[in-house]
Amino acid sequence: MHGSRAQLWLESLGDWAWPGRAAPAEVLPPAWVPAVPPRLEYAFASATPVRSVRWRVRPRPWRILLAGFVSALFAACAAVALEGSPSLERILGGRAPSPTLAASPPRSGPAAPARPLPQLVPLSHDAAGSRIEHASFTSAALAARGAFLVYLPPGYAADPARRYPVLYLLHGRNGHAAAFLEIGIQHALDRLISRGAMPPLIAVMVQDLSGLRNWRDIGPRHSASYVVEVQELVDRMFRTIATRAGRAIAGSSMGGFGAMHVALANPYRFAVVESWLGFFDGLATELQADAPIISRLGLHALVYGAEADPVAVPEEDPAFAAELRAAGAEAEGLIYPGGHSLGKVRAHLESALLFAGRSLLEAQRRAGVEQARARWRAR
């Protein structure tokens, strides 16, 4: 939060929740947004941002040092409590995992019995050949029912040997996963994939519970850990590229915060992260702790705000992108014209999807190079 400014949460094109104030006027895209976006040749071609600035980040050396010391001390204590004496590499290089958010790579040893997979319910298919399916299950992280929608690209059923990267999508506060379908994500992905602008991928739209705690672990409800729970289910249910280089995560508004929070809390799980009209409260400490991992493995990030956003401070986007770059990520921070609405997300949807698709390709290329080097060193 900044001063007295409350956050604005998105639900759908016409259904908003902003306690204490009326909905802003901009619900649909402004008049200057064309009805059919032009052909995109790169990630940001659909609209020109007002500003794309590498902002100077205010130095806070004593806070960073204190936060780093406290984080390291907490990680060491947590690791001892959970698993005995941790190794120096896990504390200094990768952070010890907490009971809820798995920040380090999967550990070897006997695997826990796999839980039954939820049943998939087909919802729709379109002329391009893509499908939308729904799944619900009893979530241990939420202590309640969890659910998600899945976009399966054209040709998914035709080639049983092919594996796909996955984009996870998080809705706004008190929102619903179907909001991404309302702004046309199925048709946008169909168009981009069919013309070869991005590789085919699976998109998973995660549904959180209602309330004020979307994508956070607070009390008995662990909504951030729930995203990891869904990710692990998806890797068992579909033909995914089940590695860090095969996963991206994005979200709008509160979901933008959630996407960045989950990605930074799980640096070994996601290679690409995007925040659309989001914010970054309290995430600087997580980013500082992740810097050695990001520097070694890489991270692609896109964060954007809106110039006339009445609640989420747009200048935070280029500023946080600068902090990401300082940690070793490849990050873009943009400010577009307009305000805070799903219409704004829709106007820039294809650009964001292109960024995710092309960044996943680059992450997989980098991972392949690193694997080849590791094999060569092992000779």
Q: What is the dihedral of CA 333, 339, 345, 347, to 10 degrees?
A: -100
What Cα–Cα distance (Å) separates residue 91 from each residue in 37, 82, 86, 338? Answer: 47, 13, 7, 44
Backbone angles phi, psi at 169, to 5 degrees: -125, 130
Give CA 67 to chain center in angstroms: 24
Better-predicted residue by pLDDT, 282 or 374:
282
Give CA 348 to chain center in angstroms: 16
pLDDT tens string 45-104: 334 444 443 333 344 444 444 444 444 444 444 333 333 333 322 222 333 333 334 444
pTM over 0.85: no
For the chain, the structural domain boundaries read 59-99, 120-379
pLDDT tens string 305-343: 999 998 899 999 999 999 999 999 999 999 999 999 999
- Cα distance between residue 48 and residue 71, in whole Å: 39
Q: Name which of 100-104, 151-155, 197-201, 232-236 the model is least confident about.
A: 100-104
Model confidence at 12: pLDDT above 80: no
Backbone angles phi, psi at 324, to 5 degrees: -60, -45
pLDDT tens string 220-239: 999 999 999 999 999 999 99
CATH number of 120-379: 3.40.50.1820
Whole-number average pLDDT of the chain: 78
- Cα distance between residue 209 and residue 221, in whole Å: 9
Amino acid at 215: W
- Cα distance between residue 248 and residue 246, in whole Å: 7
- Cα distance between residue 260 and residue 11, in whole Å: 19
Span 251-261, average pLDDT = 97
Residue 211's pLDDT is: 82
Residue 21, SS3 per DSSP: coil
Sequence-separated (6 or more) residues with CB below 8 Å from residue 184: 346, 349
Model confidence at 365: pLDDT above 70: yes
Sequence-separated (6 or more) residues with CB below 8 Å from residue 234: 148, 150, 166, 202, 204, 240
Residue 213's pLDDT is: 84
Span 348-362, average pLDDT = 97
Helices (H), 268-341: 284-297, 316-326
Contact 61, 52 (CB under 8 A): no
